[in-house]
Amino acid sequence: MVRARAEADRETERRPSLVDDAYAAMKQAIRDSSFAPGYQASEQEIALRLGMSRTPVHEAAIRLQEDGLVRVLPRRGILICALAPDDMREIYDVIVAIEGRAAELIAASPEERRMAVADELADRTDAMEAAWTEQDLRSWGEADERFHRALVEGAGNGRMIRIIQTINDQSHRARMFTLKLRRELGASVEEHRRIVACIRAGDAAGAMESARAHRLRARDTLLPLLDSFGLKHL
């Protein structure tokens, strides 16, 4: 009895970690398209592919469903959600609003705080420029994603951070898919530097407008690409 109880206690302690591991592994597989849009499989099959047990995969799938990345289908397994162009329009509406406000908040913060965030954003932009020079599109995309994550995190609003992380997870495939098709990636570097300059100057209105304009241009470039290739789902 004592041994069984001790084992149960150990299992309880391990369980959150196992679920977190399953959640992270499944999310990464979705982001890099190892689990492609439209892929459907049983919990057991997914668990086998990940080298995990079924229970944490089941609980992770419930969390991923809340994130909009999967659908849990009773008695039919787990379906990886696809994005349509209309989904991307909605996603950009959220991104434009949140990142514009984040830039405004950072620029209005005390000098020491805003300078620290500006330095981090500048470092991410330098990495983008270096990757662009080398035509290393994957590294460019990773540095760009880190810039935008740092921008929202720098605002210090926990709810904005959680919302934008979910949005980024949903849109990651579309962004990475279109990197090779887009011709204006170099313009993003200059636009990022404009955002950083406004933050350093404490120009809250300018920072907000620069961040919004940057994301609106990206939206107006990406969505026609999806339409031109006739892509219904990503």
Distance CA 17, CA 205 (A): 43
pLDDT digits (tens, 9 = 90+) for 62-93: 999 998 889 999 889 999 988 777 888 899 99
Q: What percentage of the chain has pLDDT greater than the value 70?
A: 88
Residue 103 resides in a domain = yes
Stated as kind and residue range, the H or E segment containing 220 is helix 204-228
User: 93 and 63, same structural domain?
Assistant: no
Residue 218's CATH number? 1.20.120.530
Question: Of 80, 112, 127, which residue is a domain's last?
Answer: 80
Distance CA 197, CA 23 (A): 38
User: 122 and 191, same structural domain?
Assistant: yes
Residue 233 resides in a domain = no
Tally the domains of the chain: 2
pLDDT confidence of residue 82? 83
User: 201 and 109, same structural domain?
Assistant: yes
Residue 9's CATH number? 1.10.10.10
Measured at the CA of 124, the angle between CA 121 and CA 127, to 5 degrees, comes to 150
User: 224 and 125, same structural domain?
Assistant: yes
Q: Hey, is 77 helix, strand or coil? A: strand
Domain residues for the domain of 73 are: 2-80
Task: Sort residue 84 into left (φ over 0), alpha (ψ -120 to 50) or beta.
Answer: beta
Distance CA 225, CA 234 (A): 12
Question: Of 22, 56, 80, which residue is a domain's last?
Answer: 80
User: 204 and 132, same structural domain?
Assistant: yes
Q: What are phi and psi of 80, to 5 degrees?
A: -80, 120
User: 65 and 93, same structural domain?
Assistant: no
User: 57 and 151, same structural domain?
Assistant: no
Least confident of 75-89, 104-118, 119-133, 146-160: 75-89
User: 151 and 185, same structural domain?
Assistant: yes
> Would the pLDDT of 26 be above 80?
yes
Mean pLDDT of 108-125: 98
Residue 174 resides in a domain = yes
> By C-alpha distance, which of 79, 31, 68, 77 is closest to 175?
31
Residue 170 structure tokens: 């949903």
pLDDT confidence of residue 42? 93
Q: Hey, is 79 helix, strand or coil? A: strand
Question: Of 80, 115, 131, which residue is a domain's last?
Answer: 80
- DSSP, residue by residue, 150-195: HHHHHTT-HHHHHHHHHHHHHHHHHHHHHGGG-S-HHHHHHHHHHH
pLDDT class of 5 with cuts at 50, 70, 90: very low
| Prediction pTM value | 0.77
Sheet containing strand 77-80, edge to edge, reads 40-41, 77-80, 70-73
Task: Sort residue 51 into left (φ over 0), alpha (ψ -120 to 50) or beta.
Answer: left
User: 199 and 107, same structural domain?
Assistant: yes
pLDDT class of 11 with cuts at 50, 70, 90: very low
Q: Hey, is 41 helix, strand or coil? A: strand
> Would the pLDDT of 27 be above 80?
yes
User: 106 and 202, same structural domain?
Assistant: yes
User: 203 and 97, same structural domain?
Assistant: yes
User: 114 and 211, same structural domain?
Assistant: yes
